Structure 1
Amino acid sequence: MEIVDSHVHLYPPELNAAPTEWAAARGEAHWAVLCTRTRKDGRRVQEFPSVDELLRAMDAAGVARAVLQGWYWERPETCEWQNGFYEKCVRAHPDRLSACAALHPGAGADAARESVRRAAEAGFVGLGELSPHSQGVMDDAAAREAMDAALALAGELGLSVCMHVTESAGEAGRRNYPGKVETPLGDFVRWARRHPGTRFVLAHWGARLPLDAEWSEPVRNLGNIFYDTAASPLTYGANTSAGIWREMADAAGAERILFGTDYPLVLYPKNNDASAADSMASLIAESRAGGLAEPELAAVLGGNAMRVFAQSR
């Protein structure tokens, strides 16, 4: 069984060396709130590993390939900066790494389409991780039009689109954290309907969209929506998240679920010795304990990602 981690983040050395200072200088305040936080015990919520450290973590966990996800940056130039870094990573390790391109649609439809074309020509396998809700797109008609133009072209060029999805605030059992932005589920359904030729991967189990009372019926008829498992133990609790594998496979179909960790997040922080590398192996172990049959598990852990991110073969 070839395992693919379809949701991994990496950053260039200059960011890793001083994340908080880098964010302040670049005007990326929202990223700083989310990614430079520390827990009550002083440990970082996430680490800042090098490419080599990622590859070693993959080897230790038995992961054959990782799909690098960009970030939903506030500035278009930061998107291009990260894309350039990812292009170098994939060129150096084509047998282990694939990448999705970051995108900010604020510069208009023509610029958004050009960014998508550049990504396809550079060998990227998708766009993502996108979060129009975090980038101010939903309040700007021109930016919404540019996002639609990018999503349409992504479908034409065979690029999948990974979207950041959060659970609704205030509901029982939902997790709140600094920098959390609401992502109404109906928005993702509408994008999938408007762009039937584009494959959408909704991160973080898509807030369990197929189980939502309002949207479960519509999504049954949409064959272009998939879900990744990124950050599952943090979102649903390390003691209970194992049950979601069977729950979502029953609701959406195992063929719609892509294994992803959200590396370098530390997914099991209650373990005092936990690291991002440990989290990758631990989430694989959780998936194996999630009640999936072997054919389902093989699809979730790698087969689906190889199909959805087709260029990652």
Structure 2
Amino acid sequence: MIIDINNRIGTRPLRSFRSADLLLREMDAAGVDRAVISCFPTQDENAVVLEAIHAHPDRLSGMFLINPHQKQAEASYRRAIEQGFCSLRLEPLAHGFSVDDLALLSPLMQVCAAFETPVWIYGTADVCCAPILFQDLAEAFPSVPVIIGYMGYNYEASSAISIAKRYDNIYLDPTAAMKQNLMRAVNTAGPEKLLLGSGTPVASYFELEIEKIRLIESDPARQQLMLGGNAIRLFRL
């Protein structure tokens, strides 16, 4: 089974609306069985995601995107889980916070721990979300799977890989990673720490990200961990 964990639908700036139906057609063409989806950080459209996952429960799962500065953000996430969302998504660069701000993020992380849901966090080379900043979060909430989205975005890939190796609860979404960085991640952190991410419709596309995994790992069992097995386990799909 092929499961991609980094996809967005809804309204995007200066571009056409990204529909769930279009995403599903692209999934069918690429042989993707299930996608984890969220809305874009510029619009609060979790309702669009909720409608999509309820309409296609066998193909789509939802990440709840919220700005942690929002009042009662943790209560909103609790309701989202009850409605059917399977994970949390945080965008520090878009929403103006740092990954190591435990005072801000702890209420949301406590909900993740209570409901056993993972959290995907945008983690690139930016000062607010560099992989090194994920350490405090990993140590404070060891039971919560924390996914470094975009795996440092190549410039900080080595840091993201080192953090994933060091902490049992840190995982990597290597969306748009260069082949050599993906190989390093598999060889250093292990295939059990990587998930398939394409960042559709902006960063990459399904066929390329799937092919990269197949090129750098020839063992079918290890391939399957990255292509879907790890996602099934973390997101309880």
Q: TM-score, normalised on structure 2?
A: 0.88
Tell me the secondary structure at the aligned position of residue 95 of structure 2. Answer: coil
- Give the C-alpha shift of residue 281 in structure 1: 1.5
Which is greater in Rg? 1
- Give the C-alpha shift of residue 93 in structure 1: 0.2
Q: Cα 1:63–1:249, aligned 2, differ >3 Å: closer, same or farther?
A: same
Mapped to 2, the partners of 1:254 and 1:296 lie a distance apart of 6
Mapped to 1, the partners of 2:214 and 2:70 lie a distance apart of 44
Q: Cα 1:94–1:247, aligned 2, differ >3 Å: closer, same or farther?
A: same
Q: Cα 1:193–1:309, aligned 2, differ >3 Å: closer, same or farther?
A: same
- Give the C-alpha shift of residue 115 in structure 1: 1.1
Q: How does 1:35-54 map to 2 (within 5 A)?
A: 48-54=17-23
Mapped to 2, the partners of 1:266 and 1:198 lie a distance apart of 26
Match among 119, 138, 141 for residue 195 of structure 1: 141
C-alpha contact 2:176 2:209 (8 A) present in aligned 1: no
Mapped to 1, the partners of 2:219 and 2:203 lie a distance apart of 27
Instruction: State the partner residue of 1:261.
Output: 198
For residues 58-93 of structure 1, give each alpha carbon's deviation from its aligned partner in whole angstroms, at most 9, with x where no partner exists.
0110000000034444xxxx43xx111111100100
Match among 198, 209, 212 for residue 159 of structure 2: 212
C-alpha contact 1:156 1:197 (8 A) present in aligned 2: no
Letter in 2 for 1:9: R
C-alpha contact 1:48 1:264 (8 A) present in aligned 2: no
Mapped to 2, the partners of 1:186 and 1:120 lie a distance apart of 29
Q: Cα 1:48–1:264, aligned 2, differ >3 Å: closer, same or farther?
A: farther
Instruction: State the partner residue of 1:281.
Output: 207
- Give the C-alpha shift of residue 221 in structure 1: 3.9
Structure 1: state its 5+ residue gaps: 21-35, 37-46, 169-180, 233-240, 268-278
Mapped to 2, the partners of 1:204 and 1:220 lie a distance apart of 16
Structure 2: state its 5+ residue gaps: none
Q: How does 1:1-313 map to 2 (within 5 A)?
A: 2-11=1-10, 15=11, 19-20=13-14, 48-73=17-42, 78-79=43-44, 82-108=45-71, 111-128=72-89, 130-138=90-98, 145-167=103-125, 182-207=128-153, 211-212=158-159, 216=162, 219-232=164-177, 241-265=178-202, 267=204, 279-310=205-236, 313=237
Tell me the secondary structure at the aligned position of residue 105 of structure 1. Answer: coil
Q: Cα 1:219–1:257, aligned 2, differ >3 Å: closer, same or farther?
A: closer
For residues 144-173 of structure 1, give each alpha carbon's deviation from its aligned partner in whole angstroms, at most 9, with x where no partner exists.
5242110121121111100001125xxxxx
- Give the C-alpha shift of residue 282 in structure 1: 2.4
Q: Cα 1:197–1:245, aligned 2, differ >3 Å: closer, same or farther?
A: same
C-alpha contact 2:122 2:148 (8 A) present in aligned 1: yes
- Give the C-alpha shift of residue 120 in structure 1: 0.9
Tell me the secondary structure at the aligned position of residue 145 of structure 1. Answer: helix
User: Over aligned residue pairs, what C-alpha RMSD do you find?
Assistant: 2.5
Give the aligned length: 235
Mapped to 1, the partners of 2:234 and 2:21 lie a distance apart of 26
C-alpha contact 2:150 2:175 (8 A) present in aligned 1: yes
- Give the C-alpha shift of residue 10 in structure 1: 0.4
For residues 212-254 of structure 1, give each alpha carbon's deviation from its aligned partner in whole angstroms, at most 9, with x where no partner exists.
39x93x653421110012233xxxxxxxx22333210111110
Q: Cα 1:193–1:210, aligned 2, differ >3 Å: closer, same or farther?
A: farther
Letter in 2 for 1:166: T
Q: Cα 1:289–1:220, aligned 2, differ >3 Å: closer, same or farther?
A: closer
Mapped to 2, the partners of 1:193 and 1:84 lie a distance apart of 32
Q: Cα 1:183–1:93, aligned 2, differ >3 Å: closer, same or farther?
A: same
- Give the C-alpha shift of residue 203 in structure 1: 0.9
C-alpha contact 1:206 1:227 (8 A) present in aligned 2: no
